[in-house]
Amino acid sequence: MEACTKITELLLRLREKKPLIHHITNYVTANDCANITLAIGASPVMADDINEVKDITTMSSALALNLGTLNEQRLGSMLTAAQKANELSIPIILDPVGVGATTFRLEAATRIISEVRLSVIRGNLSEIKALYGLNSKSKGVDTAEILGTNHSGDLEAAYVARALACELNASVAITGAIDLITNGKTLFKVENGHPLMSRVTGTGCMCTSLIASYLGAGGDSLTAALAGVVSMGIAGDSFQGTGSLKVYIHDAIYLLSPDNIVKRGKIVEI
């Protein structure tokens, strides 16, 4: 209950502050990340050119680094932006997408971890284990070892999350069928969400954007990580809001008729 109170207070603060969240992220889910950031009440900015990332980070309240579709240019921009964020005490979240899959990504993540002070790391179990230096059964970015499938695996996950959090002095969130969130001391388990979510790309990236939004609202790293994970989990149900609106906009343009324009256009010549 106390956790819920902290989260709800942070949500209200987020919606009042509308923090700007700088994303340096992949091109596959960038649109979803921008929309989920707007949906929660924050303001996204995606910018990854080395010429402007410092300017963008400087005006932001949090920085989200996502390793999907990584390349060397974007990695350079991440390190530059992160250094600026550290200088200005702007919190940073790292989403180590597919870090167990290639040497390139593991080296990139290792470099970020060694050069940058992070507030939160969010990944699936394979990714967090790879970051911690364990071999993992990673297979791509969406298929991975899953928390909640057996007890001894879950105990190992809790151990790894806590150990990584202590090592980096950050909060770590492992998301999956169940989610674990820890700052190295306190450990939360979250049981929201739906198995179908693993069949939609970007649910992990969007969760990272939500955590970044809560960080940008001023939450401590543990509360922000917990708030992001539980918000994403609750979102597995169905309501009507900004997601439908995007669909409706495309529908309405398709159905636009001269009659619509004449009857519904509100044009005033001044």
| Cβ nearer to a copy of itself, comparing 114 with 195 | 195
Least distance between a copy of itself and beta carbon 92 (Å): 17
Least distance between a copy of itself and beta carbon 112 (Å): 16
Q: Give the binding-site size for a copy of itself (rule: CB under 8 A).
A: 109
List the one residue out of 159, 151, 27, 160 whose CA is nearest residue 97.
27
Q: Should residue 65 be labelled a site residue for a copy of itself when binding is judged by CB under 8 A?
A: no
What are the φ/ψ torsions at residue 125 (nearest 5 degrees)? -60, -45
Q: Should residue 29 be labelled a site residue for a copy of itself when binding is judged by CB under 8 A?
A: yes
List the one residue out of 170, 219, 209, 206 whose CA is nearest residue 17.
219
Residue type, 75: L
Q: What is the footprint of a copy of itself within residues 149-208 (CB under 8 A)? A: 158, 186-192, 196-197, 199-203, 206
Least distance between a copy of itself and beta carbon 255 (Å): 5
Q: Which residue has the tokens 């001894």?
A: 152
Q: Should residue 220 be labelled a site residue for a copy of itself when binding is judged by CB under 8 A?
A: no
Angle between helices 151-168 and 125-132 (to 10 degrees): 50
- Helix locations, 18-89, DSSP H: 30-40, 53-58, 72-87
Member of 131, 165, 168, 226 binding a copy of itself (CB under 8 A): 226
Q: What is the footprint of a copy of itself within residues 113-142 (CB under 8 A)? A: 139-142
| Cβ nearer to a copy of itself, comparing 47 with 117 | 47
Q: Should residue 252 be labelled a site residue for a copy of itself when binding is judged by CB under 8 A?
A: yes
First to last CA, the chain: 56
Q: Should residue 269 be labelled a site residue for a copy of itself when binding is judged by CB under 8 A?
A: yes
Q: Is 163 left (phi over 0), alpha (psi -120 to 50) or beta?
A: alpha
Member of 3, 163, 166, 177 binding a copy of itself (CB under 8 A): 3
Q: Which stretch binds a copy of itself (CB under 8 A): 66-74, 111-119, 123-131, 145-153?
A: 66-74
Least distance between a copy of itself and beta carbon 243 (Å): 3
Q: Is 218 left (phi over 0), alpha (psi -120 to 50) or beta?
A: left
Q: Should residue 16 be labelled a site residue for a copy of itself when binding is judged by CB under 8 A?
A: no
Q: Which residue has the tokens 């609750």?
A: 234
| Cβ nearer to a copy of itself, comparing 49 with 115 | 49
| Cβ nearer to a copy of itself, comparing 117 with 188 | 188
Whole-angstrom distance, CA of residue 64 vs CA of residue 244: 26
